[in-house]
Chains A and B, each alone.
Chain A
Amino acid sequence: MDTIQLLMDGFSSALSLENLLMAAVGALVGTFVGVLPGLGPTSAIAILLPLTGVLEPTQGIIMLAGIYYGAMYGGSTTAILLNIPGEISSVPTCLDGYPLAKKGKGGPALGISAIASFGAGVLGVIGLVFFAPILADQALKFGPPEYFALMLLALTLMVSLSGGSLIKSFLMGAFGYSLSLVGLGPSSGMPRFDYGVSQLMGGFDMISIIIGLFAVTEVLKGIEERRSGATIAKTGSVYPGKEELMKSAAPMLRGGLVGFFLGLLPGCSAAITAFLAYDLEKKVSKHPERFGNGAIEGVAAPEAANNATSSAGFIPLFSLGIPSSPPLAILLAGLMIYGLTPGPVLFEQHAPFVWTVIASMFVGNTMLLILNLPMVWVWVKLTRVPYGIMAPIILMFCTIGAYSVRNSLFDVSTAFLFGALGYLFHKYKWPVVPLVLCFILGPLLEESFIQTMAMGAGNIAIVWSRPISLVILVAAAALLVISILLNRRTNKRVREEQAHGIDVAS
């Protein structure tokens, strides 16, 4: 009952006129950046994240929610209309979305995608309402060993974020941890890795690194590829007809359930569930031969699964502090800007704020449906803006974004330096998300490790001698095996689809 009351309070805060306006602006801007060819949701959120920093916390978070859903929807738009999946999770959407767009039915495909996203978002909020009190009750039992075990659980994500080479993924994770060490040590207060440079004593700012690795890199990639504005065929009405809705209802439900329940497992990415949902739909269909040639079910199921996984990802994010996808890793950084450190005690310590965030997710999603969908033609036109104009604008936004967090030009230089590094990482296939994830989790890992060792009088065995931390460690081992198996399957499917000519932009 308390939870419902808190959620209602969250809604009353999120639904004020000012906050609604922020949600609307966030959804619009997020969609615009997400729809730009080659810019996936992760880059879109990274570019726009610092812009929310100039607002009050509640407004900033609400705008961030709008940006998140807008960018996710923008990513689906390019997958359907241009056959360019911003992220691997959008590959299954391309398989039938693009053939539909070529037939002039891109509009209904976008409509179904938005409805699936909305439904999955609602499922996520319901899941949070259901799980939050349970987790809040458990929160007080968490001590440093449990947190340390949680950080080890987060390492299982390296498998799903590896993008191919596990060695490279773990090395990038180690690089991320190393970067997080720069600054004052938590135990002695002595500066580490500063080499006499005064700016390094304050450590690296995570937003600068994120902006560099995602946004600046994206611009550099665009220059290399000599990107231009895109040409899109007529989309038709975005409102799906009765027949299309009837055909999509069951696939949406099946995809949503697959996405939601698998999405609860940290390490199970949206790419895995989107492919599983697509393959499942093909298996249960009476006409599997229609798949790949423009079956609306082939859009509904993976989109529902993709979005349900993204929404379900909020549960491990809020409750355990573990982001299960790249956009959620950036969102985690965004929440941390506002002093919210997701984890078991989040619901205990910041209940009103957290429920406003949850309510704002719902508001952002609704905004997308009622405001964004009818405006799809505007986005289609905006994709024709030449890259030569967009790229300098994005770079200037990156500068402001990196500068505004600490009013530091050092952070701007850091963003540009990591932009160049990100370009090299992309070129030689080194995954950057493990770096970002470990950079964010690094201080938490170190703090929990030092406290655990102090509690155990220098004996690490304390971690597996406590029931909750032991359960987390066993879960981490199980998830590692599941992640490896599911990722192998997904990588195989991605290679199959790439062989059929789908170009994954990320």
Chain B
Amino acid sequence: MIRPRNLPDLIASLLCIAFGFIVSREAYRLESYAGSVYVGDHTLPFLLAIVFVVLGAALLFQSFRAKIGEGEGAAHDPESLAGNREISRLILCFVTLFLYVWLLDWFGYVLATLLASFVLFRLIGFYRWLTSLFFSILLTGCLYVVFIYWLQITFSRGSFFD
């Protein structure tokens, strides 16, 4: 069995081909609303679907031909590869950011920012609880003064307090 020499590119190429089919399906749906077969909202999606499938196939082919160490080598490079701890921190940061968006809607800007920045100071800077709390209060206060009080950006006040 022929084995791919660049697994990330292989996966990406399959995703591109799949994406091409999704785009072509949308193009097909839009074609029914168009006055002409050639011109309408479906034309560019149709062309893009072809690009995705053709170039995705080319990348798929290339992923089997790539020299050992190319592409995948980057992922195996000890300097570029994050350790398990860093990956966990990255995932936690990412989760915190999405929770922050949810909290913004729920608790409003001030409280959500205070909570999210506190977690981020702990996660990224490894600061102690009290130091993180101090930094998060300072940051939230500064952001409130500049953006809400001075520049008057309207943020959600939070549905929890309504």
Which residue numbers of A lie inside 8 Å of B, CB to CB? 54, 167-168, 170-171, 174-175, 177-178, 181, 185-188, 190, 192-193, 216, 220, 223-224, 226, 386-389, 391-393, 395-396, 399-400, 403-404, 407, 409, 412-413, 416, 419-420, 423, 427-430, 442, 445-446, 449-450, 453-454, 458
Whether B9 lies near A174 (C-beta < 8 A) is no
Indicate if B48 sits at the interface (CB-CB under 8 A).
yes
Whether B9 lies near A428 (C-beta < 8 A) is yes
15 contacts between A and B (CB under 8 A): A54-B153, A171-B52, A174-B51, A174-B52, A185-B33, A187-B39, A224-B90, A386-B125, A387-B124, A388-B127, A392-B139, A395-B97, A399-B100, A409-B105, A428-B12
What's the count of A-B pairs with C-beta under 8 Å? 152
A168 to B93, CA, bound (A): 28
Q: How many whole Å from A494's CB to the nearest CB in chain B?
A: 15
Q: Does more than half of chain A's interface fall in helix, strand or loop, or is it mixed?
A: helix
Q: Name A414's closest neighbour in chain B (CB-CB).
A: B101
Whether B39 lies near A428 (C-beta < 8 A) is no
- CB neighbours (8 Å) of B155 from chain A are 403
Whether B38 lies near A400 (C-beta < 8 A) is no
- CB neighbours (8 Å) of A419 from chain B are 94, 97
Q: Name B92's closest neighbour in chain A (CB-CB).
A: A223
What string of 1s and 0s marks CB contacts (under 8 Å) between B124-145 and chain A? Answer: 1111000000011001000100
Whether B74 lies near A427 (C-beta < 8 A) is yes
Indicate if B110 sits at the interface (CB-CB under 8 A).
no
Q: Name B85's closest neighbour in chain A (CB-CB).
A: A226
Q: Name B22's closest neighbour in chain A (CB-CB).
A: A193
- CB neighbours (8 Å) of A181 from chain B are 44-45, 48
Q: Which of A54, A192, A224, A449 contacts B45 (CB 8 A)?
A: A192
Q: How many whole Å from A427's CB to the nearest CB in chain B?
A: 7
Whether A392 lies near B86 (C-beta < 8 A) is no
- CB neighbours (8 Å) of B127 from chain A are 388
Q: Name B20's closest neighbour in chain A (CB-CB).
A: A174
- CB neighbours (8 Å) of A387 from chain B are 124-125
Whether A190 lies near B30 (C-beta < 8 A) is yes
Q: Which of B23, B59, B116 contacts A168 (CB 8 A)?
A: B59
Whether B62 lies near A167 (C-beta < 8 A) is yes
A500 to B17, CA, bound (A): 39
B 13-57 contacts with A by CB, 8 A: 16, 19, 23, 26, 30, 33-34, 36, 38-41, 43-45, 48, 51-52, 55-56
